[in-house]
Amino acid sequence: MLENIIAATKQGATSVAGGGDTVALLKKAKRSAEKLSHVSTGGGASLELVEGKQLPGVVALSNKDEI
């Protein structure tokens, strides 16, 4: 499945891997995280981002000019 995700990413798909276990899998499989669009150790936050939810840290950084 990982090889299919990497191949799809090469063809322009957006791939998101989240969670410490997923990062460990990439290391164990000797696959570079750079072959995916986004890799995060924050699994829950990655899921919320994919769901379209606003993440407080991202919102704060996005609004820094307004402060």
The predicted-structure confidence for 2-53, as pLDDT tens digits, reads as follows 889 999 999 999 888 888 888 888 888 887 778 888 888 888 887 888 888 9
Residue 50's closest CA among 19, 10, 12, 7?
A: 19
Q: What is the dihedral of CA 18, 21, 22, 27, to 10 degrees?
A: 130
Rounded Cα distance, 11 and 43, in Å: 25
pTM: 0.60
Give the domain ranges of the chain.
2-60
Cα maximum dimension of the chain: 44
Tokens encoding 67: 């402060």
